[in-house]
């Protein structure tokens, strides 16, 4: 596996990182990111040439990571429920209606198929804070990301309510399930993407079409030789499970360990390993931080604050940057400049 050759995937990540570092054009479209996390969405917008005016996030480790990589982007570190529209306008120098894109990924634990799918989960109500700011800022467009679980079973009721509230805010809205693996990301990560266009613009809401086949793990990790944070060793039960997967008869009910395939696309990275996680194809260990970054489409130059567990949490909660770059490019071309 060890090789110094530059894979096409690594080359694409390096190019995207250069786009992020490039000076903004004078007429660059603007974006505000709420529930910004470590900056996965923000990086995608930056790669697409946007200028971010404000990021909103409450988690200290996420804010520390964000500031490491976006030193010039102002951050509101606190509870979004306490952030007024007036405060946002003052911090950004905007007037209502001037912002190009309002972005956000409200916490989705209550919707997730990996959770208990509790309709009464208070975290399901955080989208109301997103809607409150949306109505006050009146951006030309918005993008809201969430998990696919919100359209399954009884959670459909909340999905319908969210769609209703977004449309009532004065926007033409479309919602589609998109998978990051079709947008250059070596990870199968289906997500619900809402795109809204302000009614007075007279344009339809739309989504980008699939662009690529999923990158294989072999392609994603090729040439990777810098391993800053090694993943924790497997516990004895995990090692036994790993050995069973090597023999092809693992009991998957006990663990959610996934031994990855060099020629396959990685499954969704979750925010905690718990009794599971993504195992290296050839070694009895979980993926380390540099490997996790690659399959989440974070360029090698992107740095995470904290230890391996903190990094896994940030990556598991993030929108893959190449995925959001595709969405941001589409919105810029078809909606803002179309």
Torsion of CA 80, 207, 323, 191, to 10 degrees: 60
Residue 2's pLDDT is: 39
Which residues in the chain are classed under CATH 3.40.50.150?
8-213+320-336
Q: Which of 31, 36, 53, 108 is catalytic?
A: 108
Residue 56's pLDDT is: 98
d(CA 31, CA 319): 16
d(CA 163, CA 283): 45
Which CATH code is given to the segment(s) 217-316? 3.90.120.10
H helices of 149-276, where? 156-168, 217-221, 236-247
Q: Which of 297, 300, 283 is nearest to 226 (CA)?
A: 300
Better-predicted residue by pLDDT, 154 or 251: 154
C-alpha count within 13 angstroms, C-beta hemisphere, residue 27: 3
d(CA 66, CA 37): 7
- What are the tens digits of pLDDT across the range 34-61? 999 999 999 999 999 999 999 999 999 9
Query: Please, what is the angle between helix 127-137 and helix 85-92, to 10°?
Result: 60
φ, ψ dihedrals at 182, nearest 5°: -95, 10
Q: What's the topology of domain 8-213+320-336?
A: Rossmann fold (3.40.50)
Better-predicted residue by pLDDT, 123 or 284: 284
Tokens of 170: 């004065």
Buried b (16+ CB within 10 A) or exposed e, 178-199: bbbbbbbbbbbbebbbbbbbbe
d(CA 110, CA 273): 19
Residue 112's pLDDT is: 47
d(CA 283, CA 308): 18
- What are the tens digits of pLDDT across the range 244-264? 666 554 444 444 678 899 999
Give CA 246 to chain center in angstroms.
31
HEC string of 280-334 equals: CCCCCEECCHHHHHHHCCCCCCCCCCCCHHHHHHHHHHCCCHHHHHHHHHHHHHH
108 catalytically annotated:
yes
Structural Rg of the chain based on CA atoms: 20
pTM of the model: 0.90
Residue 1's pLDDT is: 40
Contact 269, 260 (CB under 8 A): no
Which residues in the chain are classed under CATH 3.90.120.10?
217-316
């Amino acid at each position: 596996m060890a090789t110094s050759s530059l894979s096409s995937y690594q080359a694409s990540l390096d190019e995207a990182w250069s786009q992020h570092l490039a000076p903004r054009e004078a007429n660059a479209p603007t974006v505000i990111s709420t529930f910004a996390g470590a900056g996965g969405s923000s990086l995608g917008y930056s790669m697409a040439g946007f200028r971010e005016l404000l990021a909103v996030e409450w988690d200290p480790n996420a804010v520390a990571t964000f500031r490491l990589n976006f030193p010039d982007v102002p951050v509101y570190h606190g509870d979004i429920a306490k952030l007024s529209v007036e405060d946002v306008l003052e911090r950004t120098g905007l007037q209502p209606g001037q912002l190009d894109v309002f972005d956000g990924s409200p916490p989705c634990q209550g919707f997730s198929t990996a959770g208990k799918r509790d309709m009464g989960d208070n975290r399901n109500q955080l989208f109301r804070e997103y809607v409150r700011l949306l109505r006050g800022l009146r951006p030309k467009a918005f993008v809201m990301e969430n998990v696919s679980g919100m359209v399954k079973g009884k959670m459909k009721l909340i999905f319908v309510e969210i769609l209703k509230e977004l449309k009532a805010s004065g926007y033409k809205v479309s919602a589609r399930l998109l998978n990051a693996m079709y947008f250059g990301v070596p990870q199968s990560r289906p997500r619900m993407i809402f795109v809204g266009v302000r009614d007075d613009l007279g344009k339809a809401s739309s989504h980008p079409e699939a662009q690529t086949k999923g990158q294989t793990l072999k392609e994603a990790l090729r040439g990777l030789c810098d391993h800053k944070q090694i993943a924790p060793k497997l516990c004895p039960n995990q090692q036994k499970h790993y050995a069973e997967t090597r023999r092809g008869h693992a009991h998957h009910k006990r663990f959610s360990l996934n031994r990855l395939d060099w020629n396959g696309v990685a499954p969704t990275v979750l925010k905690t390993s718990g009794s599971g996680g993504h195992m290296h194809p050839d070694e009895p260990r979980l993926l380390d931080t540099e490997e996790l970054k690659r399959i989440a489409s974070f360029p090698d130059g992107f740095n995470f604050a904290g230890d391996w567990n903190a990094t896994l949490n940030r990556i598991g909660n993030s929108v893959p940057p190449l995925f959001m770059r595709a969405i941001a490019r589409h919105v810029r071309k078809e909606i803002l400049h179309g």
